[in-house]
Structure 1
Amino acid sequence: MKELAFLSFAVCALASSVASGADLPSRKLAPPLPVVAVDDYQPFQIRLRATALIPDGSFTIFDRYGIVPAATGIVSGAPGGKIFGAGVDVSNSVIPEIDLSYYFNKNFAVETIAGYTRHKLTATGPLANIPVGSTNLLPVSLLAQYHFTNLGAFQPYIGVGVTWAVPYAYGPGNGWTPLVTALGFTGFNSVRDLQIGQSVGVAGQIGFDYMITPNIGINVDLKRIMAQPTAYATIYNTALNQNIYVRVQSNLDPWLASVGATFRFGGASPAPVLAKY
């Protein structure tokens, strides 16, 4: 009889325990933190480069007013026409260059380029070796670029835009050069005045960055600029005691080959996302 009573008490206690447990609040596992995609490109960029500027165009010289005396032997064709065979040689130059870029996303960017270059100008052909003069040139370019970023650290790009070539601090050669033609010695020539105009043209670009870190890389770049400034010069001839006025139409069209360093910055670190329960 005592065993039956003890068994009944145990069953009641177990039932009460199960009922009490059912009344407790349930505990669920916390949901996983949401995955946030972060575009970690750096929107701002500075490049510091050394650039070799190599003119690759042609030059045509015209008798500006059609009054060059025939005795000089340097004019062919109608007055005011082209001085056949005459041209200008433009020296190469190596310049420092700084570029500023802004990336709209990982692939599309806009870049502005500024540099400083100085060139010597020397006549060729019938006017051979006359020191025409020298000029400083400030080529300012604005290019739209597409960057290929799916190759890891190696990131090639292409660009196209416009260039504004601004000559300044230019001056005539003022040197004396003998002019010898089929007619014999016809005096000394010297460029006494030189005026060079500005030019706006198309610019094309290819290059690549090799990013050592997300912020620092090595850059190699090649650009072609369609620059076609017009120049005017006054050449004084001693034998004739007379000025020769010429117009120079240039297709300067230089290549710009560059190497330097790339620095990127400005990317914001994403804020941590906390799950709410």
Structure 2
Amino acid sequence: MYTKMIALAVGAGLLFAGAAQAQDFQPKTAGTVMLNVRATGVLPTGDDPITTLAGASTGLKADVSNDVMPTIGLTYFFTDNVAVEVIAGTTQHTIRAQGPGADIKVQKTWVLPPVVSLQYHFMPDQKVSPYVGAGVNYMLFYSEKDYNGFGLKVDDGFGYSLQAGVDVAVRDRWSVNADVKKIFFETDATDRFNGVKSKVTLNPWVVSGGFGYKF
């Protein structure tokens, strides 16, 4: 559902892009600053076992829900091809303990996962310009709300990311952007009330679509 929503937003922009001629758009060049406003789905993929503090199995696994929120990305071009991007946004996720006959709501938490990526842009002077990137991120968990007698503490920490995307020029300084990141992040979650813990391997896909403007 999340990827379909983002694909529809990008598709609508591409309809406008089809009408633009080569001379109607501003290419990517050294010194360009690009602002992207996107709809972003954060889709965690982890499914880690929950154990006691001594390491014994509880038969449960940690599940973390998806979320979609707006995000902002700012890109600066050092050369026509090489750029650095910073993205910021915040999403809310529900952590559940799941197992045979069990599906227990543990916590809702907000996470702020800024990502800084070094990018290489192919064909920066063309209307359709794909790019790849790699970077680092920091996961900051805040405004937690516990449920069902749990007192969960999820540790903040660093991860790294890989990225692929494409900018499609629309007209003048405007463009349509589609972007996919894979973030690799593992942390610890400890229930200080019940004496259980879990490795939480989030490793989310971050799927985005939106519009960009070059300054």
**Structure 2 match to 1:194:** 152
Task: Kindly indicate whether the alpha-carbon contact (under 8 Å) linking 2:46 and 2:64 is maintained by their aligned counterparts in 1.
Answer: no
Root-mean-square deviation (CA, aligned residues, Å) is 1.9
- 1:163-242 → structure 2 map (5 Å cutoff): 163-173=137-147, 175=148, 190-191=149-150, 193-234=151-192
Q: Work out the number of aligned pairs and report it.
A: 188
Give me the whole-angstrom Cα distance separating, in 1, the residues matched to 2:103 and 2:210: 36
Q: Say if 1:52 and 1:220 are closer, same or farther in 2 by CA, change over 3 A.
A: same
Q: Which runs of 5+ in 2 are unaligned?
A: 1-26
Question: How many Å apart are 1:224 and its aligned residue?
Answer: 0.6
Q: Which runs of 5+ in 1 are unaligned?
A: 1-38, 65-79, 176-189, 236-243, 266-277
Q: Say if 1:104 and 1:94 are closer, same or farther in 2 by CA, change over 3 A.
A: same
Give me the whole-angstrom Cα distance separating, in 1, the residues matched to 2:51 and 2:61: 10
**Structure 1 match to 2:52:** 63
Task: Kindly indicate whether the alpha-carbon contact (under 8 Å) linking 1:60 and 1:82 is maintained by their aligned counterparts in 2.
Answer: no
Question: How many Å apart are 1:130 and its aligned residue?
Answer: 2.0
**Structure 1 match to 2:117:** 143
SS in 2 for 1:149: coil
SS in 2 for 1:263: strand
Give me the whole-angstrom Cα distance separating, in 2, the residues matched to 1:152 and 1:62: 53
Q: Say if 1:120 and 1:40 are closer, same or farther in 2 by CA, change over 3 A.
A: closer
Q: Which amino acid aligns with 1:195?
A: K
Give me the whole-angstrom Cα distance separating, in 2, the residues matched to 1:85 and 1:101: 45
Give me the whole-angstrom Cα distance separating, in 2, the residues matched to 1:253 and 1:247: 18
SS in 2 for 1:253: coil
Give me the whole-angstrom Cα distance separating, in 1, the residues matched to 2:139 and 2:28: 36
Task: Kindly indicate whether the alpha-carbon contact (under 8 Å) linking 2:110 and 2:144 is maintained by their aligned counterparts in 1.
Answer: yes
Q: Say if 1:82 and 1:107 are closer, same or farther in 2 by CA, change over 3 A.
A: farther
Question: How many Å apart are 1:127 and its aligned residue?
Answer: 8.2
Task: Kindly indicate whether the alpha-carbon contact (under 8 Å) linking 1:233 and 1:245 is maintained by their aligned counterparts in 2.
Answer: yes
User: Who wins on radius of gyration, i.e. which is larger?
Assistant: 1
Q: 1:110 aligns with which of 80, 84, 100?
A: 84
Give me the whole-angstrom Cα distance separating, in 1, the residues matched to 2:105 and 2:153: 14
SS in 1 for 2:185: coil
Give me the whole-angstrom Cα distance separating, in 1, the residues matched to 2:39 and 2:213: 15
Greater fraction of residues in strand: 2
**Structure 1 match to 2:210:** 260
SS in 1 for 2:45: coil
Question: How many Å apart are 1:199 and its aligned residue?
Answer: 1.9
Question: How many Å apart are 1:83 and its aligned residue?
Answer: 1.5
**Structure 2 match to 1:26:** none
TM-score normalized with structure 2 length: 0.82
CA deviation profile, 1:31-87 (whole Å, cap 9, x unmatched): xxxxxxxx97251111000001111122122211xxxxxxxxxxxxxxx12415311
Q: Say if 1:51 and 1:106 are closer, same or farther in 2 by CA, change over 3 A.
A: same
Q: Say if 1:154 and 1:222 are closer, same or farther in 2 by CA, change over 3 A.
A: same
Task: Kindly indicate whether the alpha-carbon contact (under 8 Å) linking 1:165 and 1:199 is maintained by their aligned counterparts in 2.
Answer: yes
2:46 is equivalent to residue 51 of structure 1 = no
Q: Say if 1:221 and 1:40 are closer, same or farther in 2 by CA, change over 3 A.
A: closer
Question: How many Å apart are 1:213 and its aligned residue?
Answer: 2.8
